[in-house]
Amino acid sequence: MSSDPTSVCNDALTELGAIPLVSFNDDETTLGQMCRTMFPLARDMALEMHPWNFAGFQAPLTRSPDTPSLRWAYMYPLPTGPRPPYCIKVRGTDAGAGARFAIGNDVHNGRVLYSDWDAVSIEYTARVEDLGVWSPLALQVLVKVMAAKLAKSITGQNSTEDAKLQQAFLLLPEAQRSDGREGSPVVLRANTVLTSVRRRSGGGVGW
């Protein structure tokens, strides 16, 4: 499967019986403009649907000097990119099993992690914009999600949107098995400095 926005959008459009784009960046048709609007959301949705190995990153967080919510002792701004890349979803922390945390927004509307721990590193799903590093199954999921986002405008039917999302979810069990064959998940340990070799731009660590 080709791994660029034009190919993903064209696969989605083909599933909906629509005319393919000439170019994702340069197509000024209504469909072209619609694809450019919907693609970032579809990409982030596909990344959030599964803890993809290729999108797994780790990062130490820097504690905010601002006063957090009364319920928490500290707050930490989440990565916004480009290095480390933007955090879509926190998978866990190094604060130990059962440690509580919450995700919210600060007064500047920036995404933050609330915790009672005075030092926190996270494992998270990052916004991976380079489709060349996506797994084939993840690209198939992205095509289905993109088709779902375009479906109502093209077909006028909510049922088509629901069907495409359902097809995306049906791919996830195989994605889980495929990712599991690549190795055991990384376990973050409390109070451990992340010293793993950074093998992806933005400080990501492959596993």
Residue 163 falls within a domain, yes or no?
A: yes
Taking only the tens place, the pLDDT of each residue in 79-128 is 999 999 999 999 999 876 667 899 998 888 899 999 999 899 999 999 99
- For residues 178 and 176, what is the distance between their CA atoms, to the nearest angstrom? 5
One domain for residues 72 and 174: no
One domain for residues 15 and 44: yes
> Where does the pLDDT of residue 200 fall: very low under 50, low under 70, confident under 90, or very high at 90 and above?
very low
In whole angstroms, how far apart are CA 41 and each of 87, 120, 191?
Answer: 14, 28, 35
One domain for residues 45 and 142: yes
Strand partners for 93 = 122
> Where does the pLDDT of residue 194 fall: very low under 50, low under 70, confident under 90, or very high at 90 and above?
very low
Q: Could you tell me the pTM of the whole model?
A: 0.81
- The range of the structural domain enclosing residue 33 comes to 5-51+134-180
Residue 207 falls within a domain, yes or no?
A: no
- For residues 106 and 122, what is the distance between their CA atoms, to the nearest angstrom? 18
- For residues 104 and 110, what is the distance between their CA atoms, to the nearest angstrom? 8
One domain for residues 139 and 42: yes
One domain for residues 47 and 142: yes
One domain for residues 72 and 117: yes
Average pLDDT value over all residues in the chain = 86
- For residues 82 and 18, what is the distance between their CA atoms, to the nearest angstrom? 34
Last residue of a domain, one of 86, 105, 126: 126
Residue 60 falls within a domain, yes or no?
A: yes
pLDDT of residue 172: 94
Mean pLDDT of 132-139: 95
Residue 106 falls within a domain, yes or no?
A: yes
Residue 201 falls within a domain, yes or no?
A: no
DSSP string, the chain: ---SHHHHHHHHHHHTTPPPPS-TTT--SHHHHHHHHHHHHHHHHHHHTS--GGGEEEEEPPPPSS---TT-SEEEEPP-SSSSPPEEEEEEESS-TT--EEEEE-TTS-EEEEES-SS-EEEEEE----GGGS-HHHHHHHHHHHHHHHHHHHH--HHHHHHHHHHHHHTHHHHHHHHHTT-PPP---TT--------BTTTB---
Last residue of a domain, one of 126, 149, 170: 126
Residue 71 falls within a domain, yes or no?
A: yes
One domain for residues 82 and 120: yes
Taking only the tens place, the pLDDT of each residue in 164-191 is 999 999 999 998 888 878 765 444 443 3
Residue 206 has pLDDT above 60, yes or no: no
pLDDT of residue 98: 67
Total domains in the fold of the chain: 2
pLDDT of residue 182: 74
Residue 195 falls within a domain, yes or no?
A: no
Taking only the tens place, the pLDDT of each residue in 35-91 is 999 999 999 999 999 999 999 999 999 999 988 877 899 999 999 999 999 999 999
